[in-house]
């Protein structure tokens, strides 16, 4: 599938001296990098390099497309589809670095560039995807595809490319194309506004504590981090808590002071909801633009448009899946709240459990039921140990090795760079990690690439440069970064995405690595989470940061016993957010939507428990309103979990490091990328289609019905 421009999240830090351009220097984007494995030379890049390099990239891109259209030969795969895939590489080269910095090192200079760069990117993409002459050649290849002797991968590429052009407006009238281009530019601007509001309001929030007695219950490491943050903000002797997860979540989970928990909770759920950073007006404009875009392209609503080209095929199929999970999840929430209320009553707390109490009392119940203290657990998960754990997993499953490259170019001093090789010493990929929060970095964790992989017919090939970004707990004083269980699983999750990118063997750029259906892309990430707490691996990397003691069997048994603790809450907030996203996608608003009222109505219709909020409320639901990436597609995490839960059961049956099973998963899923229909890949690996029952078993939730649940074919399938 032809993708006119691939943008990848990354980051760079530039010295102040780099701001002054020299007349003698060459823009580093416009010459060979001459670095190990073509890693971008971050130290040479100046802010003033981006827009000129983009302009040159766009100029070359247009010339390359013009040459394709001018080719008098009968359109075929190589002179049209493959030629398009190979075009625009300079522009892509610039955007990979630019998007990186914009995601993780936001600053006024980058904001100013982004206001020009993203509209330029949107415009050239629309220009090419709506080019009638180019589409004529694509359609010719598509119409004659069965006569061209194409490989299965090429056939899929031709069909997906044709569909992508149609979805981009190639069949529209000139007037409708012009309108669609305007809508796309408008959406690009709105996404920028949404993300800027979210980052600015996140950084504006401060919960300052000046009385140490109010910090009762909060882990010492979190208190130390808060003291460091306060000192950095000029408030020595106080404690500063922020909305970033390593600060927010421990406070909600452990703070004995209920008012402190309430302030943090309300600060989070009201993020970007009022004042100058209010995202609700931005959301309304996004909803209207998306709805009009979908109608122009012949779809009843945006959700129908968004699901049409992935595994689900329809929003109704996605909803069917979610609702099979919803009922057992909210049933479990009722049981969890009853347990928490009983414990609160037993303690004499004289409260009724509210949303800001959920994390706190869930932790108390876990401690009471399983004698499990997360502060004790963290001691066995220093970040560097967990890093070695993910590398050990990859070595045992797939035979790859990670060797640090201390002198490799880095975009930030905290980044670590690795040369990934197979057991014969052959280069497989470059892997980078960037794990700690910064005020300039958006929240969350993600994977992307600086460079994708391909193998051209002439033998030219390229291996990928992959990176993981996180916002994990930082070191404090003499104490290393100690990760929570959630952070450990997140690290394994993002590394799973990384493996998908690193191990790809798909030949075509557009099919390599994570270039797969959106509701399949989470399978490699989510299935690798399962290894994090498997005793066979756990005992090789979980060691106490002070004593070096291997995690004891008794503690492992407690972790296993508590593995499904609080899954009612976790599942409900996730499924609720996915259903909310789909309801937004089905709107065709004439006037403004009352966003808060709409959320409340969806929650009421679902009979959502009052103690649980959507995982993301709309003003900070970046997956949905910060780009089109997961819009009407947040359900994909659950869709992929149906696959990963069922798939990991095969590893459990055969052995979690069974060589044959690992080889089959690598070859069918990780190496194939988007070169084969995703359900075909899954069935080849597993031997059957999955149902939601494996997910419910994995989360410790009873199936909603006694009869077998529907499989993914019945709720969408191919």
pLDDT of residue 705: 44
Does the residue 64 lie in any domain? yes
Q: Could you confirm whether 494 is annotated as catalytic? A: yes
Whether residue 239 sits in one domain with residue 153: no
In sequence order, what DSSP letters do the residues of 380-427 get, joined into one string? T-BHHHHHHHHHHHHHHHH-EEEEE-TTS--SSTT-EEEEEEETT--E
pLDDT of residue 47: 96
Whether residue 263 sits in one domain with residue 121: no
* β-bridge partners, 479: 476
Which has the minimum average pLDDT: 388-397, 432-441, 498-507, 572-581?
A: 432-441
Whether residue 242 sits in one domain with residue 108: no
Does the residue 579 lie in any domain? no
Quick one: pLDDT band at residue 312, thresholds 50, 70, 90?
Answer: confident
CA distances from 84 to 87, 113, 129, 262, 677 (A): 5, 27, 11, 54, 22
Does the residue 660 lie in any domain? no
Does the residue 48 lie in any domain? yes
pLDDT tens for each residue of 246-298: 999 999 999 999 999 999 999 999 999 999 999 999 999 999 999 999 999 99
Whether residue 162 sits in one domain with residue 75: yes
pTM: 0.87
Whether residue 73 sits in one domain with residue 153: yes
Expressed as residue numbers, the domain containing 150 is: 16-171
For the residues 689-697, what does the mean pLDDT come to? Answer: 90
Distance CA 156, CA 158 (A): 5
Quick one: pLDDT band at residue 23, thresholds 50, 70, 90?
Answer: low
Greater confidence, 569 or 709? 569
Distance CA 610, CA 632 (A): 24
Whether residue 251 sits in one domain with residue 150: no
Question: If you average pLDDT over every residue of the chain, what do you get?
Answer: 93
Whether residue 158 sits in one domain with residue 42: yes
Number of neighbouring beta carbons within 10 Å of residue 170 = 19
Q: Identify the residue whose tokens are 């209010």.
A: 278
Does the residue 393 lie in any domain? no
**HSE toward the beta carbon, residue 432, CA cutoff 13 A:** 30
Whether residue 24 sits in one domain with residue 163: yes
Domain-terminating residue out of 146, 171, 196 = 171
Does the residue 371 lie in any domain? no
Whether residue 214 sits in one domain with residue 142: no
pLDDT of residue 10: 28
Number of neighbouring beta carbons within 10 Å of residue 577 = 22
Does the residue 98 lie in any domain? yes
Whether residue 137 sits in one domain with residue 43: yes
Q: Which two tokens stand for residue 417?
A: 């760079």
Number of domains in the chain: 2
CB neighbour list of residue 547: distance below 8 Å, 6 or more residues apart:
none
The residue annotated as part of the active site, out of 103, 105, 164, 494, is 494
Whether residue 130 sits in one domain with residue 24: yes
Domain-terminating residue out of 171, 189, 222 = 171
Domain-terminating residue out of 250, 270, 290 = 270
- Residue 83's CATH number: 1.10.1370.40
pLDDT tens for each residue of 32-62: 999 999 999 999 999 999 999 999 999 999 9
Does the residue 320 lie in any domain? no
Whether residue 229 sits in one domain with residue 142: no
In sequence order, what DSSP letters do the residues of 313-337 get, joined into one string? -SHHHHHHHHHHHHHHHHHHHHHHH
CA distances from 156 to 77, 87, 131, 387, 521 (A): 11, 19, 22, 37, 17
């Amino acid at each position: 599938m032809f993708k006119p421009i691939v943008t990848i999240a990354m980051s760079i830090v530039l010295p102040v001296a780099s701001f002054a351009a020299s007349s003698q220097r060459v823009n580093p984007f416009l010459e060979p990098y001459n670095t190990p494995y073509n890693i971008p030379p971050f130290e040479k890049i100046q802010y003033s390099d981006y827009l000129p390099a983009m302009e040159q990239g766009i100029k070359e891109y247009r010339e390359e497309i013009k040459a394709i259209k001018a080719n008098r030969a009968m359109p075929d795969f190589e002179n049209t589809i493959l030629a398009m895939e190979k075009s625009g590489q300079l522009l892509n080269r610039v955007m990979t670095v630019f998007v990186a910095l914009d995601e993780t090192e936001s600053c006024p200079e980058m904001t100013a560039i982004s206001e020009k760069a993203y509209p330029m990117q949107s415009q050239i993409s629309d220009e090419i995807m709506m080019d009638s002459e180019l589409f004529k050649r694509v359609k010719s290849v598509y119409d004659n595809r069965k006569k061209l002797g194409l490989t299965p991968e090429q056939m899929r590429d031709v069909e997906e490319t044709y569909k992508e052009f149609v979805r981009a407006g190639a069949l529209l009238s000139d007037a409708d194309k012009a309108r669609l281009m305007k809508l796309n530019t408008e959406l690009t601007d709105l996404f920028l506004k949404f993300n800027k509001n979210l980052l600015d309001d996140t950084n504006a929030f401060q919960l300052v504590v000046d009385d140490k007695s109010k910090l009762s219950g909060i882990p010492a490491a979190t208190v130390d981090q808060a003291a460091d943050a306060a000192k950095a903000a000029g408030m020595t002797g106080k404690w500063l808590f922020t909305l970033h997860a390593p600060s927010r979540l421990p406070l909600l989970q452990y703070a004995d002071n209920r008012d402190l928990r309430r302030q943090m909770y309300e600060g989070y759920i009201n993020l970007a909801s009022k004042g100058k950073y209010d995202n609700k007006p931005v959301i309304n404009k996004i909803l209207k633009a998306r709805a009009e875009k979908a109608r122009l392209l012949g779809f009843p609503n945006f959700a129908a448009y968004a699901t049409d080209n992935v595994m689900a095929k329809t929003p109704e199929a996605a909803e069917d899946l979610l609702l099979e999970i919803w009922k057992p999840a909210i049933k479990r929430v009722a049981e969890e709240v009853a347990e928490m209320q009983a414990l609160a009553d037993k303690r004499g707390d004289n409260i009724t459990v509210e949303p800001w109490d959920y994390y706190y009392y869930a932790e108390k119940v876990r401690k009471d039921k399983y004698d499990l203290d997360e502060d004790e657990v963290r001691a066995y998960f220093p970040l560097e140990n967990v890093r070695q754990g993910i590398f050990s997993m990859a070595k045992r499953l797939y035979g790859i090795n990670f060797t640090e490259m201390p002198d490799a170019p880095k975009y930030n001093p905290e980044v670590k760079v690795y040369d990934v090789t197979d057991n014969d010493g052959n280069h497989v990929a470059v892997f980078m990690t960037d794990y700690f929060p910064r005020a300039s970095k958006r929240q969350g964790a993600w994977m992307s690439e600086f460079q994708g992989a391909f193998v051209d017919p002439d033998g030219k090939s390229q291996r990928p440069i992959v990176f993981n970004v996180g916002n994990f707990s930082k070191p404090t004083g003499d104490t290393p970064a100690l990760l929570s269980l959630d952070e450990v699983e997140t690290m394994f999750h993002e590394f799973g995405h990384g493996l998908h990118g690193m191990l790809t063997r798909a030949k075509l750029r557009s099919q390599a690595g994570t270039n797969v259906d959106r509701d399949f892309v989470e399978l490699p990430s989510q299935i690798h989470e399962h290894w994090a707490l498997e005793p066979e691996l756990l005992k090789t990397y979980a060691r106490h940061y002070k004593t070096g003691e291997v995690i004891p069997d008794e503690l492992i048994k407690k972790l296993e016993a508590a593995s499904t603790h609080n899954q009612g809450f976790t599942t409900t907030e996730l499924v609720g957010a996915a259903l909310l996203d789909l309801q937004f996608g089905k709107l065709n608003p004439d006037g403004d939507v009352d966003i808060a009222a709409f959320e409340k109505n969806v929650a009421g219709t679902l009979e959502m428990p009052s103690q649980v909020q959507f995982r993301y409320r709309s003003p900070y639901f970046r997956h949905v309103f910060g780009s089109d990436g997961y819009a009407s597609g947040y359900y994909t995490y659950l869709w992929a979990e149906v696959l990963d839960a069922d798939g990991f059961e095969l590893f459990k049956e055969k052995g979690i490091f069974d060589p044959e099973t690992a080889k089959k998963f690598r070859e069918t899923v990780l190496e194939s990328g988007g070169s084969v229909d995703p359900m075909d890949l899954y069935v080849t690996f597993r031997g059957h289609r999955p149902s939601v029952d494996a997910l419910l078993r994995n989360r410790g939730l009873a199936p909603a019905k006694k009869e077998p649940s529907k499989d993914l074919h019945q709720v969408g399938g191919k």
